[in-house]
Amino acid sequence: FGSELTALDEENGGLALLLAGPLSRRRLLLERLAALLVGCAALAVFVFALLALWNAAFLAGLSYGVLAAACANLGLLAFFFGALAAFFGCHSGRAHLSRDLAIALMALLFLANLLPGFISGASALRPISPFHYYAGADPLINGVDLADALILAGGALVLGLAALLRFNRRDLGI
């Protein structure tokens, strides 16, 4: 969804129609980023409901507070990558390219978090990965580390602001 915030409308010509009215670029992107955030929150609530049902059905004994915190952290991770895809979409104006770049970077960042467990000396890679801040403190065991959650939220905010700055200054060709 993040890759299509503005890029899909730009590709199909709908962005020109949207921006022909009194709607500013800034307001359009901020409203769509807010919709992305609501979608990520809905995803987190849905995953929490499924995990709560699983926890009750199989008597897993996990605290519902820990489950809720881990799912909220999942929503932050989803918003981070959605904002990353939105940045690429605002930069390129091409939805497929922005989606593919975001997925490729997501895979590389996942490997940056995973490789230090297998390769000695690669531990310097782990802090650059948002997956480290999502699962590094074992949220289902220890709960979510507030500092890690703030880093994810701050990273998503920075990416959203970068998308906004790029979208405001780029010649859209419409």
3-state secondary structure 24-81: CHHHHHHHHHHHHHHHHHHHHHHHHHHHHHHHHHCCCCCCHHHHHHHHHHHHHHHHHH
Query: Which of 69-73, 85-89, 112-116, 160-164 shows the lowest mean pLDDT across its residues?
Result: 112-116
What per-residue confidence (pLDDT) applies to 135?
A: 86
pLDDT greater than 90 at residue 58: no
Average pLDDT over residues 66-87: 93
Q: How far is CA 115 from the centre of its chain?
A: 22
**Cα 24–Cα 89–Cα 112 angle in degrees, nearest 5:** 135
Report residue 145's pLDDT band, with 50, 70 and 90 as the boundaries. confident
pLDDT greater than 70 at residue 174: no
Instruction: Please tell me the pTM assigned to this model.
Output: 0.88
